Chain A
Amino acid sequence: MKKIKLLLVDDEENFVNTLAERLKMRDVPSKVVYSGEEALEAVKSEVPDVVVLDLRMPGIDGMEVLRKVRQTNPDVRIVILTGHGNEVIEEEAKKLGAFHYHKKPVEIDELLGTVKKAYREKLEDAMVAATFAQAGAFDEAHEILDEEK
């Protein structure tokens, strides 16, 4: 299986660096950034498959990053991981297209399970779209990709 291009976004440096180290031990390397601004830059320079995103960050917050990334790269799956959440915020994030919403603290296996599921879903959608495109059914292919927007 191809390696997941994973981006971790959190201003809690100790937390996100430790998380990245543990993910690496599980053969899932990741790129780490510490702000919303850096996250948008990172997505521009190399589009990730999955983003694990904190919501409450100084500067551009996670919700804004979610909104912008879903607009520019709708095939990127975004998993919210926040200590500042409630049901209303969760609903808003899901409306904006978040793949899943985790509240901190979360166990690594649970988070990794969500990341892998998000990646699998992305691959499946891409494969289905490619199959339609190969068969000349471009409208259907577009429809599948547009569903993510």
Chain B
Amino acid sequence: MIDVSATDGDGRFLGVVTAAACHDLMNVYATFTQAFGLMEDCLAADSRTRLKSLGFKGGFEHKERFQELLKMLRGQLARAVGLTDALALAAHSLERGGRPASPPEAIAAMLLLCERLLKRRKLTVTLDTASCAADQSWPVLRQVDYLGPLTETLLACLPHVPMGSELRLSCQADAGSLRLVLGRPDGGFAPEARAACQDVLDAVPGATLVCGAPDAPLTLIFQEQPTSTPASCPPGAGQAS
């Protein structure tokens, strides 16, 4: 449920309608799931009939083709469910109340949503959650306060990193701040990329970019905002896009 005390009117409007639509889409997917399942049940029943009648009855001619298509449709449905889940999480990112997702979970969802944009330059972003304990406590921040700048930073970097690069992202909680470390295992970031990221972070109150040496990772630091609710780290939140 969207908290009406969120101050960003446009964001709140988009959050409300997106969250409502995402929830309803789950009803649509549930209907698809049962309909595909019923088709599979019917195909299985046909096989049983054929077996019992020693081949005199049943034996749907296009059974294998149908099975292949159903498998493909189920794969696409799982993809739609994943995207919708991620979109619902993003839609709730303005909330101050309730129980928000932890940063690793929220960032994993955001990376899934941005997958198509990153694919334009064949980029892979791997979220490393190895250092996050399951009961990790995180600084008090609205998801939108770090997801928005992180997304913009990634998009600003995009034209300045080599095609097909791998990026690694990790999250750390440190003295009332959230630190997102963005690195490239095969090198640092070009000065243009660093400048573009700096421009993004300069415009975000409470956020700082630490660049370090030319081949060092970029560190995005977001200071705690005491109006939000803290979150804990869910198990297995890390994933690659």
Known A-B contacts: A12-B27, A86-B1, A105-B26. Give 16 more (CB < 8 A).
A15-B31, A18-B31, A18-B35, A18-B37, A25-B45, A83-B23, A83-B25, A84-B23, A86-B92, A87-B99, A88-B1, A88-B98, A104-B26, A106-B33, A107-B33, A107-B37
Q: Is A108 engaged at the interface, CB distance under 8 Å to the other chain?
A: yes
Q: Are A12 and B31 in contact (CB under 8 A)?
A: yes
Hey, which chain B residues are within 8 Å of A12, CB to CB? Answer: 27, 30-31
Q: List 19 A-B contacts (CB under 8 A).
A: A15-B27, A15-B30, A15-B31, A15-B34, A18-B38, A21-B38, A22-B37, A25-B41, A83-B24, A83-B26, A86-B1, A88-B99, A103-B26, A104-B26, A105-B26, A105-B32, A105-B33, A107-B33, A108-B37
Shortest distance between the CB of A149 and any CB in chain B (Å)? 27
- Asked if A67 CB lies within 8 Å of chain B CBs, one says no
Give the interface of B toward A (CB within 8 A): 1, 23-27, 29-35, 37-38, 41, 45, 77, 81, 92, 98-99
Return B208 CB to nearest CB of chain A, in Å. Answer: 32
Given contacts A12-B27, A88-B99, A105-B81, contact A19 B41 (CB under 8 A): no
B23 lies within 8 A of A22 (CB): no
Task: Give the docked Cα–Cα distance between A87 and B97 (Å).
Answer: 13
Residues of the B chain whose Cβ atoms lie less than 8 Å from the Cβ of A19: 34
> 1/0 contact trace for A43-82 toward B, CB 8 Å?
0000000000000100000000000000000000000000
- Indicate if A134 sits at the interface (CB-CB under 8 A): no
- Give chain B nearest CB distance to A110 CB in angstroms: 11
> Number of A interface residues, CB 8 Å?
20
Say which residue of B1, B27, B38 sits within 8 Å of A104 (CB atoms): B27
- In the bound complex, residues from chain B placing their C-beta under 8 Å from that of A15 are 27, 30-31, 34
Q: What separation, in Å, do the CA atoms of A86 and B95 have in the docked complex?
A: 13
Whether A83 contacts B27 in the complex (CB less than 8 A), given A88-B98, A105-B32, comes out as yes
Please give me the residue from chain B that is nearest to A15 by CB atom.
B31
The reply to whether B98 and A104 contact each other, CB–CB distance below 8 Å, is no
Closest to A11 in B: B27
Give the CA-CA distance A12 to B25 in the complex, in Å.
Answer: 12
Determine the chain B residues whose CB is within 8 A of the CB of A106 once the complex forms: 30, 33
Contact yes or no, B23 A56, CB < 8 A: yes
* B29 and A104 within 8 A (CB): yes
Nearest B residue (CB) for A102? B30
Shortest CB distance B50–A (Å): 17
Contact with B along A106-134 (1 / 0, CB 8 A): 11100000000000000000000000000
In the bound complex, CA of A39 to CA of B66 (Å): 37
CA distance A15 to B36 in the complex (A): 11
A108 to B35, CA, bound (A): 11
